[in-house]
Amino acid sequence: MKITLLAGGVGGARFTRGLLHLLAERYPDGEGGTTAEVTVVANTGDDMWLHGVRVCPDLDTVMYTLGGAIHEGQGWGRQDESSRVSADLAAYDLGWEWFTLGDLDLATHLARTELLRAGKTLTEVTAHLCRRWKPGVTLLPMSDQPVETHVVVGEGTPEDPERLIHFEEWWVRHRAGIPARRFEQVGVDSASATPEVLEAIMTADLVLLPPSNPVVSVGTILGVPRIREALNATPAPVVGISPIVGGAAVRGMADACLTAIGVETSALAVGVHYGAREGLDGDDLVEGDGQTEATAGRLGVIDGWLVDDSDHEAVSGLEAAGIRSRAVPLLMTDDAATAEIATAALDLAGFR
Ligand code: GDP
Ligand code: CA
Amino acid at 204: A
pLDDT at 292 (0 to 100)? 56
Ligand nearest to the CA of 55: 2
Q: Best substitution site from 212, 257, 266, 334 to test ligand 1's pocket, by max atoms within 8 Å of Cβ? A: 212
- Cα–ligand 2 centroid distance for 139 (angstroms): 15
Give the C-alpha distances (Å, rounded to integers) separating 150 from 163, 173, 246, 307, 313. Answer: 10, 14, 28, 29, 35
Per-residue pLDDT reduced to its tens digit, 251-268: 889 999 999 999 999 999
Strand 163-166 to strand 53-55: parallel, antiparallel, or no bridges (unpaired)? unpaired
- 228 touches 238 (CB < 8 A): no
Nearest CA to ligand 1 atom 13: 213
For residue 7, the ligand 1 atom closest to its alpha carbon is: 8
Give the C-alpha distances (Å, rounded to integers) separating 57 from 82, 135, 137, 167. Answer: 17, 16, 17, 12
How remote is the C-alpha of 352 from its chain's centroid? 26
CB within 8 Å of 153: residues ≥ 6 apart: 162, 163, 164, 165, 170, 178, 179, 180, 181
For residue 253, the ligand 1 atom closest to its alpha carbon is: 14
* Residues with Cβ–ion distance below 5 A, ligand 2: 8-9, 46, 58
| Counts for the chain of helices (H) and strands (E), in that order | 14, 14
Sheet holding 182-186, edge to edge: 163-166, 148-153, 182-186
For residue 218, the ligand 1 atom closest to its alpha carbon is: 7
Nearest-angstrom CA–CA distance, 204 and 192: 20
Angle at 148 between CA 65 and CA 208, to 5 degrees: 45
Nearest CA to ligand 1 atom 27: 243
- Cα–ligand 2 centroid distance for 131 (angstroms): 22
Strand 324-328 to strand 304-308: parallel, antiparallel, or no bridges (unpaired)? parallel
Nearest CA to ligand 1 atom 12: 11
For residue 58, the ligand 1 atom closest to its alpha carbon is: 2
Nearest-angstrom CA–CA distance, 209 and 69: 24
pLDDT at 285 (0 to 100)? 47
- Cα–ligand 1 centroid distance for 212 (angstroms): 5
Nearest-angstrom CA–CA distance, 264 and 286: 29
Per-residue pLDDT reduced to its tens digit, 165-193: 999 999 999 999 999 999 999 999 999 99
- Cα–ligand 1 centroid distance for 279 (angstroms): 29
pLDDT at 295 (0 to 100)? 52
Continuous H helices in the chain: 10-26, 57-66, 84-90, 103-117, 122-133, 167-168, 195-202, 218-222, 227-233, 254-260, 267-274, 282-285, 314-320, 335-348
Q: For the chain, which residues make up each domain, given as ranges?
A: 2-144+193-243+267-348, 148-185
Mean pLDDT by 10-residue block, N- to C-terminus, for the chain (352 residues)? 98 98 97 97 97 97 98 94 92 85 97 98 98 98 98 94 94 94 95 98 98 98 97 97 96 94 97 86 49 66 98 98 98 97 98 92
Residues within 6 Å of ligand 1 by CB? 7-12, 58, 61, 211-213, 217, 241-243, 245, 249-252, 254, 330-332
Nearest-angstrom CA–CA distance, 29 and 25: 9
